[in-house]
Structure formats: C-alpha cells, structure tokens
Amino acid sequence: MTLPIIVQVDSVTKTYLVSAGVFKGKRKLQAVNGVSFSVEKGTVIGLVGESGCGKSTLAKIILGLEDANKGEVLIDGMRITPSHRHEISRRIQPVFQDPYSSLNPRKTVKSIISLPLRVHKLGGRKDWNRKVEEIMDVVGLPRRLMYNYPNQLSGGQRQRVAIARALIMNPDVVVCDEPTSSLDVSVQAQILNLLIDLRKEFGLTYILISHNLAVVEHLASRVAVMYLGRIVEEAETGELFKRPRHPYTKALLASVLTPQPRLRLPDTHLGVAYPNPIDPPSGCTFHPRCPKANELCMTDAPEPKLERGRLLECHFPEGAEKEEA
Ligand code: SF4
C-alpha cells in the first residue's frame, strides 16, 4: 500500500561562512549538500551519522528554524517559506535532545506545555487548562505536577513535558532530535515506548535523529545515513541493518558505543578522523577512510543511484560483485 508523502525534502543545501582561523578569513562550510528524501505519512525515518554530518542542520531546516540556501522542503505539499512558517509550525513540532536546556526553568509545566497554544492564539485560558490536563494524561505526567518547575522534575518527566508541548498542537510530524540520549538508561526505554505508543495513537510521522543505532532500528521504518552533508545510503530499516551496502553504513553498524555514555557517539574504527567539512576530500568524500577506495573514488564523486527502494552513493558498493557474477 502506498502512503501519501507528508514531508518532501528536495535538493536542500545549507552553507555557512565560518572563520578558518587567524589571518585566514572566512571559508564556506557546506553543512547540507543537495539532500533529497521523502517521508510517508505515519512512518518514521531515522537520520544517522557522526557528529557534523549535517543531520541536526537538516532538522532545523525542516522545522523552518533555518533557511536553506538552495532547494525546498514541503510539508503536506506546502512549501516552507517565511509567510508559511506560522502555519507550518502548527503541523510540525520538535522534541529536542536535552529537556534540561530546552525547557524554560522559570516557567511552570502548565505554562511550558500551553506555550504553543498561546503563541498561535488558539482558544482561551479555560481551553488551555483543559488541553494541558488532557495532554499530561496522554504522556503519563501526573496532573499534580502542573504548577511545578522543570528543576522539580526528573529527566524522564522533563522529556514528557517536552513531548506534551510538541503534541498539544496536534501536529502531523514530530522531529525528534536525540530524544533519549540525555536520559538515564532506565528511563530511555520508557520514553521510547511512549513515542511508539503516541505514533500509533495519533498517526504521527517522526523524523528521528539519533546517534543510537539501536534506537533507530527499534523505531524507524526507513533509515538515511548521512556523511559530510550527503545521504550516502537510504533504505528500509530491516534491509539496511541486514545488508548495509555503503562502506560507511557498514562501518557505522559495526561500531560500538564510546566510553562516553552520555554522548553515545559511535566509534567507527575507521582509523582516519572525520574530515573537516570546511575542507572536504575530493571525489567521494569518504575515500580517505574507505577500505574499498581506489583512484576513481579520489577524483569522481559517485552519483546517487536508486535500486529496489535503496538509494546508494558509491562506485563499489558491498555486494556488487555478487550481483555481477
Ligand atoms: Fe568507498 Fe569509493 Fe564507495 Fe566512496 S565511492 S564509499 S571511496 S568505494
């Protein structure tokens, strides 16, 4: 069954001008480089990759918090433009990584959760109270916490407040940027299960950004692997985890968590460090770290190819030899 497309990201590019050092002036940093993908309604796409790969910048562009230099994002067919931003923000809401910093410490739970209603001038004070109570029930927050402040809540309760604030607008799409990574391991599963239940109950679409591949495998229907601002492989989750074809995806899936449990950065064991995005390698930008790289890879960037529902950017993908034989 084909589901309607709710999010369409089309050739999005984002470049920043950053200082290259003393006396070196400003240089271009291409955070996102011609990224395209679409998300079907009611599904979950996982965006994975190491820090600096562009996934959080892409999330901000999708949320309308940053403008793309090129390309466009459509939510249910509506282009995100400055004039549409207000309307779009009713339909797409974020849940950020760190509920400690994303919640205003001087506001009560009620004030935080009802903020989007007040910004969009939806209903009056009585409606806000009722809606806040209802959404607190939905996300499993006791109503007695309504007048508490964030510092009086546990990490899990704070993330439930952030989820309630996102859902009170009844959005179609929720962008979850590392929704569990700042939480204790024991609480992570509860928040993940809550996100799964809410998606089913409200038919939500998630764009899930995570370093944690186990979380992505558990939640996502499709996975897009990003490297230096490009999607290098995108496929249905089961297929991608069972048979990664891009050498970077393979390295990422073979990775283990670092000894820094709060960061949960995958250690790819690729030997060579992640390149500086101000000065990306020539050809295929993964070539200095790729065990399969040859001369062609050093000079020619691979074109994206779509094969049986899998998008791939590699001259010599895993399994190609078998297919040719
Ligand atoms: Fe490796 Fe070459 Fe494929 Fe790039 S194009 S991932 S360097 S094999």
pLDDT of residue 78: 87
Residues with beta carbon inside 6 Å of ligand 1?
A: 246-247, 284, 286-287, 290, 292-293, 297, 302, 314-316
> Which tokens in the block code for residue 193?
């299960």
Q: Count CB atoms within 10 A of the CB of residue 315.
A: 18
**Residue whose CB lies within 8 A of the most ligand 1 atoms, among 228, 299, 316, for a mutation test:** 316
For residue 314, the CA-to-ligand 1 centroid distance in Å is 5
CA neighbor of 231 nearest in space, from 38, 4, 17:
38
For residue 292, the CA-to-ligand 1 centroid distance in Å is 6
Number of domains in the chain: 1
Residue 254 counted as domain residue: yes
For residue 45, the CA-to-ligand 1 centroid distance in Å is 24
Residue 175 counted as domain residue: yes
Domain that holds residue 247: 5-91+171-324
Residue 158 counted as domain residue: no
Residues 6+ apart with CB under 8 A from 307: none
Taking the model in full, what pTM does it have? 0.90
Give φ, ψ of 247 to 5 degrees: -55, -30
> Which tokens in the block code for residue 95?
């849940």
pLDDT of residue 267: 58
**Residue whose CB lies within 8 A of the most ligand 1 atoms, among 227, 245, 270, 290, for a mutation test:** 290
CA neighbor of 192 nearest in space, from 203, 181, 204:
181
**Residue whose CB lies within 8 A of the most ligand 1 atoms, among 232, 233, 252, 287, for a mutation test:** 287
Question: What is the mean pLDDT, run by run of 10 residues, along the chain of 325 residues?
Answer: 91 90 80 96 95 91 92 90 78 83 90 91 85 96 96 94 94 92 86 95 95 90 96 97 95 67 54 80 94 95 94 92 60
Instruction: Return the residue whose CA atom lies nearest to atom 6 of ligand 1.
Output: 314
Q: Which domain CATH number covers 290?
A: 3.40.50.300
Distant-in-sequence contacts of 214-222, Cβ < 8 A, 24+ apart: 215/180, 215/188, 216/46, 216/48, 217/241, 218/192, 219/44, 219/46, 219/192, 219/195, 220/44, 220/45, 220/46, 221/40, 221/43, 221/44, 221/45, 222/39, 222/43, 222/44, 222/45, 222/46
> Which tokens in the block code for residue 133?
């109570």
Residue 243 counted as domain residue: yes
Instruction: Return the residue whose CA atom lies nearest to atom 3 of ligand 1.
Output: 314
Residue 313 counted as domain residue: yes
For residue 238, the CA-to-ligand 1 centroid distance in Å is 23
- Give the whole-angstrom CA distance, residue 299 versus residue 5: 36
Q: Is the dihedral of CA 55, 60, 66, 72 positive or negative?
A: positive
Q: How many CA atoms lie within 13 A of 224 on its CB side?
A: 23
Quick check: 226 and 47 in contact, CB under 8 A?
Answer: yes
Residue 308 counted as domain residue: yes
How buried is 262 (Cβ within 10 angstroms: 0-12 exposed, 13-18 middle, 19+ buried)? exposed
**Residue whose CB lies within 8 A of the most ligand 1 atoms, among 232, 292, 296, for a mutation test:** 292
Residue 136 counted as domain residue: no
Residues 6+ apart with CB under 8 A from 308: none
- Give the whole-angstrom CA distance, residue 72 versus residue 182: 31
pLDDT of residue 260: 47
pLDDT of residue 98: 72
Ligand 1 atom with the shortest distance to the CA of 294: 2
Ligand 1 atom with the shortest distance to the CA of 298: 7
> Torsion angle, CA of 254/258/261/266, rounded to 10 degrees?
-40
Residue 102 counted as domain residue: no
For residue 131, the CA-to-ligand 1 centroid distance in Å is 52
